[in-house]
Amino acid sequence: MSAAVTLRQTKTIDPGPLYVVKNEIISSTDIQPELFVHEVQTGAFSHVATVWDIQHYPTTEAEAIAESLPYYLSATGTRSYSVLRDAVLFEGYVVGRLRSLLRDYDIAVNEFEGVVETDIP
């Protein structure tokens, strides 16, 4: 079965104006929902996870601190922009990165490992 997620993007305008995009994985199949990487030092959203991130970073800030890791994974990732166009581009970027992650994750989990023998004439 292929990994899949349901992403909820909540967009608001805060005083400033700040254009805020909150991304939240509200359901997941065959992959954990914590797919957004946050910096331990600031708590800020850094980027959409890669397969490597999923394999190496914990899903709680407390665990990352205990293991002296710079990042942890979360099911939410929020960014604010002062320019509307940047916020709109970010919306699409997150969707594209999640699609790439799901494709790469399926390959890493279901196809990559193993031994392959090929006769090459």
pLDDT in tens, the chain (121 residues): 689 999 999 999 999 899 999 999 999 999 999 999 999 999 999 999 999 999 999 999 999 999 999 999 999 999 999 999 999 999 999 999 999 999 999 988 877 666 778 888 8
Other CB atoms closer than 10 Å to residue 79's CB: what's the count? 18
DSSP state of 35: -
Residues 6 or more apart in contact with residue 17 via CB below 8 angstroms: 82
**Structure tokens, 102:** 């799901």
d(CA 38, CA 60): 10
Amino acid residing at 26:
I
Question: Rounded to two decimals, what is the model's pTM?
Answer: 0.88
